[in-house]
Amino acid sequence: MKRIYLQKAKTQIARPNTIRGINKQIVLNYVRDRSPISRAEIARETALQRSTVSAIVDDLQESGLIEDIGTGDSTGGRKPTLLKLKTGTPVAVGVDVTPQKTTVAVADLAGHVLEQETFPSSADMTFMTEQIIESVSKLARKYPDFELEVGISVPGIADQTIGKVLYIPYFNWRDWEIAAQITERTGFPATIENDANAIALAELWFGHERNRKTRNFITVLVAEGIGTGVIFDGQIYRGDKGAAGEFGHMIVGVDAPVTCSCGSRDCWEAHASEKAIIFRYQKLLKESNLSKETVDIKHLVALAKSGETQAIQALKETARFLGIGISNLIVGLSPQAVIVSGIIAEAWDLIAGELQCMAERSVRGDLPKTILRASSLGDSPTLIGAFSLVLAKKFASAS
Sheet holding 173-176, edge to edge: 157-159, 164-168, 173-176
When the beta carbons of 95 and 276 are compared against Zn ion, the nearer one is 276
d(CA 234, CA 221): 19
When the beta carbons of 38 and 261 are compared against Zn ion, the nearer one is 261
d(CA 230, CA 196): 9
When the beta carbons of 90 and 248 are compared against Zn ion, the nearer one is 248
Closest approach of Zn ion to the CB of residue 262, in Å: 3
Closest CA to 155 of 205, 90, 225: 225
Q: Which residues have a Cβ under 8 Å from the Cβ of 340 and sit 6 or more positions away?
A: 219, 220, 222, 322, 326, 348, 355, 372, 373, 374, 375
Site for Zn ion in 153-172 (CB under 5 A): none
Site for Zn ion in 174-193 (CB under 5 A): none
Site for Zn ion in 229-268 (CB under 5 A): 249, 260, 262, 264, 267
When the beta carbons of 94 and 155 are compared against Zn ion, the nearer one is 155
Closest CA to 260 of 198, 201, 325, 200: 325
Burial 312-347 (b: 16+ CB within 10 A, else e): bebbbbbbebbbbbbbbbbeebebbbbbbbbbbbbb
- Render 22-38 in DSSP notation, one character per residue: HHHHHHHHHHHHH-SEE
When the beta carbons of 208 and 249 are compared against Zn ion, the nearer one is 249
When the beta carbons of 22 and 262 are compared against Zn ion, the nearer one is 262
Closest approach of Zn ion to the CB of residue 318, in Å: 16
Site for Zn ion in 87-126 (CB under 5 A): none
Q: Is there a contact between 310 and 360 (Cβ–Cβ < 8 Å)? A: no
Q: Is there a contact between 45 and 31 (Cβ–Cβ < 8 Å)? A: no
In eight-state DSSP terms, residue 251 is: B
d(CA 298, CA 346): 9
When the beta carbons of 166 and 392 are compared against Zn ion, the nearer one is 166
When the beta carbons of 163 and 225 are compared against Zn ion, the nearer one is 225
Closest approach of Zn ion to the CB of residue 250, in Å: 9
When the beta carbons of 262 and 302 are compared against Zn ion, the nearer one is 262
d(CA 158, CA 325): 23
**How many residues interact with Zn ion (rule CB under 5 A)?**
5
Axis crossing angle, helix 274-287 with helix 297-305, rounded to the nearest 10: 60
Closest approach of Zn ion to the CB of residue 257, in Å: 14
3-state SS assignment for residue 381: helix
When the beta carbons of 262 and 396 are compared against Zn ion, the nearer one is 262
Closest approach of Zn ion to the CB of residue 249, in Å: 4
Site for Zn ion in 265-294 (CB under 5 A): 267
Closest approach of Zn ion to the CB of residue 390, in Å: 31
Closest approach of Zn ion to the CB of residue 239, in Å: 17
Return the number of other C-beta atoms located less than 10 Å from residue 34's C-beta.
13
Where residue 83 falls (left for φ over 0; alpha for ψ -120 to 50; beta otherwise) is: beta
Closest approach of Zn ion to the CB of residue 175, in Å: 21
3-state SS assignment for residue 115: strand
Q: Is there a contact between 119 and 131 (Cβ–Cβ < 8 Å)? A: yes
Beta bridge partner(s), residue 193: 153
Closest approach of Zn ion to the CB of residue 378, in Å: 29
Closest approach of Zn ion to the CB of residue 267, in Å: 3
Residues that bind Zn ion (CB under 5 A): 249, 260, 262, 264, 267
